[in-house]
Amino acid sequence: MPEQTIVFHTRRPEPSGAVPSGRIAALGLFLRRNRRAIIAVQWCIVVFYAALVAIPAFMPLPPGSAHLWDNLRLFAQFIFWGIWWPGVMIATVTLGRVWCGLFCPEGSVSEWVSRYGRGHPLPRWLKWAGWPFVAFVCTTVYGQLVSVYEYPQAALLVLGGSTVAAVVIGLLYGREKRIWCRYLCPASGVFAVLAKIAPLHYKVDREAWDRHASDFEPVNCAPLVDVRRMSSASECHACGRCAGQRDAVSLSLRSPFAEVLDLSAPAKTADAATLLFGVLGVATAAFQWTVSPWFLKIKLALADWLVEHEHFALLDNDAPWWLLTHYPEANDLFTWLDGALILAYLLVGGGLLLGGTLWLCTVLAARIANDARLGWQRFALTLAPMAAASVILGLSMLTVTHLKAEHLWLGWLPVFRITLLALGTTASLWLSSSLIRTIIASGLRAGSAMLAMALPVGVMCGLWSLVFFVW
């Protein structure tokens, strides 16, 4: 559809004819009718977010006796990385992209400034579908190099830089639209994947939409979704603005597996690549490298070799803090060797080896199925529950780090981790099996395809078991 042509806000009352009744549908209509209250909440979050990102960056290191409740630096770290981001991921898996549509400060600011922007036509390069994947990988890797989870200066650089970029894009290409969120946001690709298994979504009745073709003004969809043809929760920001539109759009419950198993729903290469190479590949390596004995052994072996051969340049720790972690006051200094090994571990180990292995399994399953409707992309999406469990487990490691520092009881932790891992594993295996059964009734071919899809699930389960119960 033509970009940026949907700019009107309808104020007509929403008819109740074809829209399904019930509390869930009513919630969608409530969100549509209360846009002013939502905007007020969004601006409160913008202020809170800005304060937590900016102020701690100019504070000294917390003393050893500091706690979460009496030191802003520790409090901000815990809120951002221990509560905020795990909560966002859990919300996306359960409710769809409500964070994007109702709460995200970057999206809110970008949409607001776009009202005063130049409204340039979107260039072709900006609409490339691979930008969210590239941005996610780059942000993840860079965040590890500068220790974004531990130091507020790094958080200000990464998160603040992303916000500034969102504002610039809004000013250049806006017109009351979230261009940054749709095409460039580093987290957008992850949200798009996780939202596919959310049990809540906005359902569109195409027949009802066409029957009421002249009854309603166009809805202002900020992320530029073609609402009439919307069949996936991936791009929908779940803001509620289109609820009740033409008596055809309603917030509804669905099976969390419905979209992946619906062969008419899109299975995009960009989403599949983000899931395999980004969330299950690079992100998994980013969560695990600090506790990996493999990483430590390789580092020590290379350091010994460099000293033995009198090559000391890579052992220097003179990099600036915005390039590699450099905080002498905390006795935390990355050498150039550290930086090179982190890059290799994340991009080669996580992205190429782990992500590539998972991709080959999905390709093999697609070859065995031998059906045009089941490409490797569709098989990759069956790993979405495993990806959800993986990213929540990884982010919860940061939560646990803060709770341990406060000497809080963590006896529940093993059960939580085993349960979450079991849920992700079981759901992905069930999805794969159901998808295969839609094409192949039974027999050796079905078993072979299932075995191909069981391998990536087993690999991910094994990696997290190593982290939590072996290493």
> What pLDDT, on the 0 to 100 scale, is given for residue 346?
98
Contacts of 114 (CB under 8 A, 6+ apart): 170, 171, 173, 174, 175, 176, 177, 178, 179
Q: Structural domain tally of the chain?
A: 2
Cα dihedral 248, 253, 256, 258 sign: negative
Half-sphere exposure of 376 (CA within 13 A, CB side): 18
Listed residue (203, 235, 205) closest to 221, CA to CA: 235
- Boundary residue ending a domain (195, 223, 250): 195
Dist. CA 383–CA 431, nearest whole Å: 8
**Residues 291, 439: one domain?**
yes
**Residues 276, 153: one domain?**
no
User: DSSP for 63-103?
Assistant: PTT--TTT-HHHHHHIIIIIIIHHHHHHHHHHH-SHIIIII
Dist. CA 320–CA 428, nearest whole Å: 43
**Residues 346, 463: one domain?**
yes
In a domain, 225, yes or no: no
Our CA angle for 289, 350, 403, nearest 5°, is 35
Per-residue model confidence as pLDDT tens digits over 104-123: 999 999 999 998 888 889 99
Residue 454, classified by CB atoms within 10 Å of its CB into exposed (0-12), middle (13-18) or buried (19+), is middle
- Residue whose token pair is 């809110």: 108
- Boundary residue ending a domain (170, 195, 220): 195
**Residues 291, 421: one domain?**
yes
In a domain, 251, yes or no: no
Supply the range of the domain harboring residue 349. Answer: 269-469
Per-residue pLDDT of the chain (471 residues; tens, 9 = 90+): 344 444 334 444 444 334 455 899 999 999 999 999 999 999 999 999 999 999 999 999 998 889 999 999 999 999 999 999 999 999 999 999 999 999 999 999 999 999 888 888 999 999 999 999 999 999 999 999 999 999 999 999 999 999 999 999 999 998 889 999 999 999 999 999 999 999 999 999 998 888 876 666 778 899 999 999 999 999 999 999 999 998 899 999 999 999 999 998 889 999 999 999 999 999 999 999 999 999 999 999 999 999 999 999 999 999 999 999 999 999 999 999 999 999 999 999 999 999 999 999 999 999 999 888 899 999 999 999 999 999 999 999 999 999 999 999 999 999 999 999 999 999 999 999 999 988 876 788 899 999 999 999 999 999 999 999 998
In a domain, 331, yes or no: yes
Dist. CA 288–CA 363, nearest whole Å: 26
**Residues 273, 127: one domain?**
no
In a domain, 159, yes or no: yes
- Contact present, 423 and 389 (Cβ < 8 Å): yes
**Residues 343, 454: one domain?**
yes
**Residues 334, 433: one domain?**
yes
In a domain, 107, yes or no: yes
**Residues 165, 283: one domain?**
no
In a domain, 254, yes or no: no
User: DSSP for 173-221?
Assistant: H-SS--HHHHHT-TTHHHHHHHHTT-SEEEEE-HHHHHHTTTTSPPP--
**How would you label 9-39 residue by residue, b for 16+ Cβ within 10 Å and e otherwise?**
ebeeebeeebbeeeeebbebbebbeeeeebe
- Contact present, 104 and 163 (Cβ < 8 Å): no
In a domain, 294, yes or no: yes
Dist. CA 3–CA 264, nearest whole Å: 24
Q: Which residues pair with 71 in a beta bridge?
A: none
- Boundary residue ending a domain (145, 180, 195): 195
**Residues 441, 303: one domain?**
yes
- Contact present, 29 and 242 (Cβ < 8 Å): no
**Residues 160, 279: one domain?**
no
Read off the pTM.
0.91
